Structure 1
Amino acid sequence: MIENQITEKVIGCAIKVHQNLGPGLLESAYQECLFYELKKEGLKVEKEKPLPLIYEDVKLECGYRLDLLVEDTIIVEIKSVEALNDIHLAQVLTYLKLNNSRIGLLINFNVLQLVKGLKRVINKYKN
């Protein structure tokens, strides 16, 4: 399955979760429901995947965790905030770089229409 097909499925599942739950819940609730929907779609999904930081030749366990990693390719970062801002985007870009991934989805469920809380993020410098 190619990246665009995976992101379409993730977005479709996120819309379904948002339609059923609406805005105003904790990130963890959306994460669990989205994880469930993605698994139901037959996608390989890892939740709270540890993400080490490698500095020079040292692997540092800094406590970074990916909300969801779909098909070993797409990083999904879930938020439930008033508005997405630059720090949220920077977080996803950093995760993409550390995981050597190309595509990330930043999803803010705390909006009336999910399309207004969705950003597709591309790591132009993937190794």
Structure 2
Amino acid sequence: MAQSITELNTLSQVILKQAFDVHSALGPGLLESAYKECLAYRLTKNGLWVEKEKPIPLVFEEIRLDQGYRLDLLVENKIVVELKSVESLNDLHTAQVLTYLKLGGYKLGLLLNFNVKSLKEGIKRLIL
């Protein structure tokens, strides 16, 4: 278990470095989709497996709902990256990422708000 935590931490550091680079180059004020495409490009360029708009089903008893839920980015099939470009993060954004972690069986999520002066102010790390 300790090794997987170390692996997740290392991977999250790579993701955050690339996010900082994208934010430094583009600055705040763009649409979420622009940041998502640029971050996915940088992560892929750095040799990481990235899935964009990955569908995530909701399973309740015998019912499986495949529509509606999509992760912004799933990196290495391990870390959920949810991007925002909003005035400030709120509890609903946090709940969204926690729901994705639970539904997908993932341990770590990064909630990133690119609409801030310094990206450090827009990072929320969530562990399930």
TM range (shorter): over 0.9
Paired amino acid for 2:71: L
Alignment of 1:4 with 2:42, yes or no, is no
1:1-127 alignment runs, 5 A limit: 2-123=7-128
Identity rate of aligned residues, in percent?
A: 59
Please state how far the C-alpha of 1:62 moved relative to its aligned partner: 2.8
- Partners of 2:113 and 2:122 in 1: CA distance: 5
CA-atom RMSD, angstroms?
A: 0.9
Q: Which has the higher helix share?
A: 2
Whether contact under 8 Å (2:55, 2:67) holds in the other structure is no
User: How many residues get paired?
Assistant: 123
- Match of 1:42, SS state, is coil
Secondary structure of the equivalent of 2:117?
coil
- Report the secondary structure of 2:97's partner residue: helix
Letter of the aligned partner of 2:117 in structure 1? Answer: L
Q: Distance in 1 between matches of 2:106 and 2:56?
A: 12
Q: Which stretches in structure 2 are left out of the alignment for 5+ residues?
A: none
Q: What is the TM-score of this pair, normalised by structure 2?
A: 0.94
Q: Gapped runs of 5+ residues in structure 1?
A: none
CA distance, structure 2, for counterparts of residue 6 and residue 59 of structure 1: 31
Once the two structures are TM-superposed, the CA of residue 83 in structure 1 deviates from its matched residue by 0.2
In 2, Cα distance between the equivalents of 1:102 and 1:61?
A: 21
Report deviation, 1:63: 1.4
**Post-superposition CA distance 1:37-70 (Å, at most 9, x none):** 0001100110000011001021112311000000
Q: TM-score, normalised by structure 1?
A: 0.95
